[in-house]
Amino acid sequence: MKTLRALLMILLVVAVFAAGFGYGRWYGKTAGGAAQTGGRKILYYVDPMHTAYKSDKPESLRLRHAIGASLCGRRARPAPAGEAPAMPMGTIKVSPEKQQLIGVSYGEVESGAEAHTFRAVGKVAFDETRIARVHARVEGWIDRVFVDFTGQLVEKGQPLLTLYSPEMLATQQEYLLALKSKDMLKTAR
């Protein structure tokens, strides 16, 4: 059952491919290999970005036929009296009713300063390369804080806090006592 279903799918794919290939060969191109142009003679091909560039080869250029070739890239002649004026090639006319529906409005250009509000989503973060962590390597507690809030700028050498540590106080007193006894030994000699 599965093999029969797979065989039918393969036959269907082959039939669709053959039909598409035959259609393209029959209707797609003329005997000369050029695209059909509805019986009109091809004058030249024009680059849509650079209309001055013309070529006899269709390298992704647009066709220019003998009919209407004189108006390509030029303004149309004025219409005779009683008719609507001719518009340049490529111009789209929008009726006044549709202009009102889509909100077209006319006005004079004025120069002046205007205040605009700009709203955006963002994330404020610290520059991690400028963050320094200070670790006290002794036991104690903070006595006074000189930097009161987060984000306050701190200069180099500015005190941040005072720390009271009985361990450091004892070490400081021992150091001062050692300096004093060193001076006493110098004077005794």
Specify the residue for token string 């700028």. Answer: 153
Please give the Cα distance from 162 to 177 (Å, whole number). 23
Query: Residue 133 has what pLDDT?
Result: 82
Bridge-based pairing of strands 161-164 and 62-65 is unpaired
Rg of the chain's alpha carbons, rounded to an integer?
44
Name the nearest CA neighbour of 154 among 128, 174, 131, 184: 131
Name, in order, each residue with C-beta under 8 angstroms of 136's C-beta and a sequence gap of 6 or more: 163, 165
Query: Residue 58 has what pLDDT?
Result: 64
Query: Residue 78 has what pLDDT?
Result: 54
Amino acid at 120: A
* Averages of pLDDT over each 10 residues, the chain, 189 residues: 84 82 66 53 70 68 43 48 64 79 77 81 86 84 90 89 92 95 88
Please give the Cα distance from 44 to 61 (Å, whole number). 9
Query: Residue 39 has what pLDDT?
Result: 62
Domain residue spans of the chain: 1-32, 37-73, 133-188
Q: What is the 3-state secondary structure (H, E, C) of 84-105?
A: CCCCCCCCCCCCHHHHHHHCCC
